[in-house]
Structure 1
Amino acid sequence: MRLFHSFAALLFGAFASLAHAAQPATVRLDYAHSGNALADSYAIERVVIEPLPWPGSAARNLDDTNRGQNRVEVVDPKTGDVLYSRGFSTVFGEWRTTEEAGRISRSFSESVRFPQFAQPVRVRILKRDERNQFSVAWSIDVDPNAPDVVKRQPPAAAKPIPIQVSGPSPDKVDLLILGDGYTQTEMKKFEQDARRLSAHLFSVSPFKERAEDFNVWAMAVPTGQSGISRPSTGVHHPSALGTRYDIFGSERYVLTLDNRALRDIAQHAPYEFIEILVNNETYGGGGIFGQFSTAAAGNDWADYLFVHEFGHHFAGLADEYYTSPVAYAAASGRMEPWEPNVTALRDPAKLKWQRHVTAGTPLPTPWPKADYEAASRAYQKKRAALREANRPESEMSALFREDLKQTNALFDRQPHRHAVGAFEGANYEASGYYRPAMQCLMFDRSNAFCPVCRDGVTDIIDLYAGSVRQ
């Protein structure tokens, strides 16, 4: 094992040296995004030149996947040519759908990263409008050579561990696994958790077939206490990342709201995507497209949590479940979602995953919706009671296993069990939104993505590590 670590360290150094010689610098624009449910605004915080070079390929600078609630475009201010673009979503975008956003305003720190170009650039932040099209929400000129640009920073608080190195960063997807809630004496445990969960990710299709398109790094800044904060139970553990449970009032929702801390730590490793492992047994996680995802590494369902939440962050996959309580307010309309795996089904003849639908499959597609919802109501009541009584996590895990067993038994009797169609109930709504399959990793705690979600993941892998598009 010691020999492997030495070899991996040398390999990391070799790739880093190669990248430094050939790649442009990484520019990061940190800004404040403020507002409420009705209006929002932007203000620059700082421009940073990160310590490591740009991890991506110049041949894949433009994003054509049409994902995300927002989009960043870096343009030449003289010609208007788009030099770089990526879709993304934000924590602010989720918060503004909560009840609180109807009463008060808040400010969230956000960042966009892009390769440095030879000339000053204009950075545009776009957001989807009422037509579901992107329009410019904010624009600012950025000169990486300006005197107020941060070019030197304190040394890294932790060093990256190479988990899987498949090749030079520009040709691969770089995934960074960060740890939070791990003490100094638990650093070995963090590395084991990172290796175990990344190995599981690459056992799930289509990550399994595309494993060699990924580099995986791991890094953790030690904390003084084991585990992260869970305010609903009176647990407050400070940490470098500030990750915690109870985000937006949801006991299982785990995020960090400290974007500045996240970026300042992550910048010391090659990365395009981040998953944060929290050193807790309590079920929980979260995922924001193009930002980061989280998972409780010590939970019995950690494998599922890691992949499900990474599906949100990596591919912009929507939640297909709708019977669990969530922090978001119900949508007032039924705009066609941008996410690839849910639809409002306004025109069945133009279903966005039509190529997967076998001729003769009815749209909408019948499934035992009433029976499922009755069973789910009983299950949710038990789940709430266990949390209210603060019962051992093993009892919650047992309930999850029983729920999945009952769902499988119910679905296994259905004629469209393995069909791709349009099954009503998705995107946190019982009616008006449809998912592609009766069951999928984005619907419940089953262990496989449906064909449509697999396509959604593959599109993003191709964007970062696929054949260069002409």
Structure 2
Amino acid sequence: MTLFARSRGLIAALFLSALSAGAVSAVAAPAPDAQPATVRLDYIHSGNALNEQYAMERVVIEPLPWPGDMRRTLDDTNRGNNLVEVADAASGKVLYSRGFSTVFAEWASTEEAGKTNRGFQESVRFPKPDKPVKVRILKRDERGAFSVVWTTSVDTDAMDVVRKPAPAPAKPIGIRVNGPSKDKVDLLILGDGYTAGEMKKFEATALRLADHLFNTSPFKERAKDFNVWALALPTQESGVSRPSTGVHHASPLGTRYDIFGSERYVLTTDNRALRELAQNAPYEFIEILVNNDTYGGGGIFGQFSTAAANNDWANYLFVHEFGHHFAGLADEYYTSPVAYATGGATRQEPWEPNATALHDPANVKWKKFVKDGTPLPTPWKKDEYEAASRAYQKERVALRQANRPESEMSALFHKDLQHTNELFSRDPNRHVVGAFEGANYEAKGYYRPEMQCIMFDRSDKFCSVCADGISAIIDLYSRPKSE
């Protein structure tokens, strides 16, 4: 495994190791690629439910070159609550853009945000420009259009730019290496809560879950468009914090359960720690595996996703949460409680590709998948599903309150999925693309494309609309062989 040093503003490509025929083997390092350096702008995003502010913290030149295709620097997918634009300061020409969402935006809809202010660390990354630039953060307004909420000037050659980070605390492992980073989607799997003696366990789990991801369509068909890396720092104690049960563990990334008071919501709010570890591997997307048995996970579009690696449902969690982070897919379920506010009285059209308020049924956003004659809204066994779900959710809450063994929760999930599959198997619209009411955490007013999907329940397939949404992001980051 070899890490080439940065020289004259260009850093050689990183190829540490790759998995071949079920074993990790060395990969010859390719010649250095003329990619620009990677710039990271760290800032503080603070405020409350009504107001928000931004303040620059620092500008960092990361140790590895820009991992992306320089011919695809502008984002045309229209995803995310926010958009970053990097524009030439003199001409105003936009050099780079990407959609993303934030932990702050979710927190701002919680009850706490109506009572107090909080600040969150955030970062945007972009290829190093030759001249000073304006970095703009845009936010969707009430019409769903982006408008500028913060602008700051950045000179990446200024004296206060951080140019020499600390030596890498650990070396990434190549799980799947299919080509130069600029031609591929780079996924970095980070571990949190693994002791030094559990590093092999982390590597094996990362490999297993990556294999599962690439056995799931449309990732399966596009597996060669990805590189996958794994990286973790050891902890003194096994597992991450779960405050609701009195468990508090120090971990390098600070990942924990009970985010915003939701027992199953797992995130880190230590963006600095996350970025300073991640910068030691090529990446565009991050999934954090927590070394815990308890069901849980989370996903923020363009930031990271998490999954409880030791849970019986780890395969599902890994893929479902990655769907949020990678493609900005909405949750299609609506009977499970969430910690933050949802649509409210006014149903604005969601930006997510797999949910709609159906204001104009004749022009539903996934119209190309809807066959002529399909009724919109599309009937389904909604009342029967909700009656069973209410009973299931009551039992789920009781198990958590009693702190019952995780095996009992897993058995309940299996029972619930089996009942849903049986109920839906009798519905003539089970495999129809239409507009099924109940999505985006709301029983009324929001609609999903198909009756069943990984984003709806713990089934094992993405619906056709979600698959299409994923493919669009793969196309944004990978370069076809013909080009």
Q: TM-score range by the shorter chain?
A: over 0.9
> Residue 77 of structure 1 corresponds to which residue in structure 2?
89
| In 2, Cα distance between equivalents of 1:60 and 1:216 | 20
| In 2, Cα distance between equivalents of 1:422 and 1:285 | 27
User: What SS class does the counterpart of residue 119 from structure 2 fall into?
Assistant: strand
* Cα contact 1:177–1:276 (8 A) shared by 2: yes
| In 2, Cα distance between equivalents of 1:64 and 1:323 | 33
> Residue 399 of structure 2 corresponds to which residue in structure 1?
386
Of 58, 61, 69, which residue of structure 1 is paired with 2:73?
Answer: 61
Of 412, 435, 449, which residue of structure 2 is paired with 1:399?
Answer: 412
> Residue 271 of structure 2 corresponds to which residue in structure 1?
259
1:413 aligns with 2:464: no
* Cα contact 2:87–2:135 (8 A) shared by 1: yes
| In 2, Cα distance between equivalents of 1:430 and 1:35 | 30
Of 154, 163, 179, which residue of structure 2 is paired with 1:142?
Answer: 154
- Comparing 120-129 and 309-318, the one that deviates more: 120-129
User: What SS class does the counterpart of residue 179 from structure 1 fall into?
Assistant: strand
| In 2, Cα distance between equivalents of 1:9 and 1:26 | 28
| In 2, Cα distance between equivalents of 1:316 and 1:400 | 25
| In 2, Cα distance between equivalents of 1:8 and 1:170 | 23
Q: Say if 1:468 and 1:412 are closer, same or farther in 2 by CA, change over 3 A.
A: same
The code of the aligned residue for 2:232 comes to: A
- 5+ residue gaps, structure 2, are 1-16
The code of the aligned residue for 2:375 comes to: P
| In 1, Cα distance between equivalents of 2:137 and 2:95 | 14
> Residue 303 of structure 1 corresponds to which residue in structure 2?
315
User: What SS class does the counterpart of residue 232 from structure 1 fall into?
Assistant: helix
Residue by residue, what CA displacement relative to the aligned partner does 1:424-463 show, whole Å, maximum 9, x if unpaired?
0000000000000000000000000000000000000000
- 5+ residue gaps, structure 1, are none
1:232 aligns with 2:247: no
The code of the aligned residue for 2:451 comes to: M
1:345 aligns with 2:358: yes
Q: Report the TM-score when normalising by structure 1.
A: 0.97
Q: Say if 1:411 and 1:423 are closer, same or farther in 2 by CA, change over 3 A.
A: same
> Residue 32 of structure 1 corresponds to which residue in structure 2?
44
- 1:331 Cα deviation from its structure 2 partner: 2.5
Alignment of structure 1 residues 196-215 onto 2, 5 Å? 196-215=208-227
* Cα contact 2:18–2:26 (8 A) shared by 1: no
User: What SS class does the counterpart of residue 387 from structure 2 fall into?
Assistant: helix
> Residue 426 of structure 1 corresponds to which residue in structure 2?
439
User: What SS class does the counterpart of residue 243 from structure 1 fall into?
Assistant: coil
Alignment of structure 1 residues 37-436 onto 2, 5 Å? 37-332=49-344, 333-436=346-449
The code of the aligned residue for 2:180 comes to: P
More helix by share: 1
- 1:359 Cα deviation from its structure 2 partner: 1.0
The code of the aligned residue for 2:417 comes to: L
| In 2, Cα distance between equivalents of 1:328 and 1:409 | 31
Q: Report the TM-score when normalising by structure 2.
A: 0.94
> Residue 32 of structure 2 corresponds to which residue in structure 1?
18
* Cα contact 1:436–1:450 (8 A) shared by 2: yes
| In 2, Cα distance between equivalents of 1:155 and 1:280 | 29
Residue by residue, what CA displacement relative to the aligned partner does 1:91-136 show, whole Å, maximum 9, x if unpaired?
0011111111111110000000000011111100000011110000
Of 436, 453, 460, which residue of structure 1 is paired with 2:473?
Answer: 460
- 1:468 Cα deviation from its structure 2 partner: 9.8
| In 1, Cα distance between equivalents of 2:167 and 2:282 | 15
Residue by residue, what CA displacement relative to the aligned partner does 1:129-173 show, whole Å, maximum 9, x if unpaired?
111100001011111110110001111121100000000000000
| In 1, Cα distance between equivalents of 2:211 and 2:458 | 18
Percent identical among aligned pairs is 72
- 1:18 Cα deviation from its structure 2 partner: 2.2
* Cα contact 2:19–2:175 (8 A) shared by 1: no
Q: Which runs of 4+ in 1 moved over 2 A?
A: 3-11, 466-470
Residue by residue, what CA displacement relative to the aligned partner does 1:293-338 show, whole Å, maximum 9, x if unpaired?
0000000000000000000000000000000010012322211000
Q: Say if 1:170 and 1:4 are closer, same or farther in 2 by CA, change over 3 A.
A: closer
* Cα contact 2:320–2:454 (8 A) shared by 1: yes
| In 2, Cα distance between equivalents of 1:331 and 1:261 | 32
* Cα contact 1:60–1:468 (8 A) shared by 2: no
> Residue 12 of structure 2 corresponds to which residue in structure 1?
none
Aligned residues: 464
- 1:82 Cα deviation from its structure 2 partner: 0.6
User: What SS class does the counterpart of residue 255 from structure 1 fall into?
Assistant: coil
* Cα contact 1:74–1:123 (8 A) shared by 2: yes
| In 2, Cα distance between equivalents of 1:469 and 1:62 | 20
| In 1, Cα distance between equivalents of 2:24 and 2:159 | 38
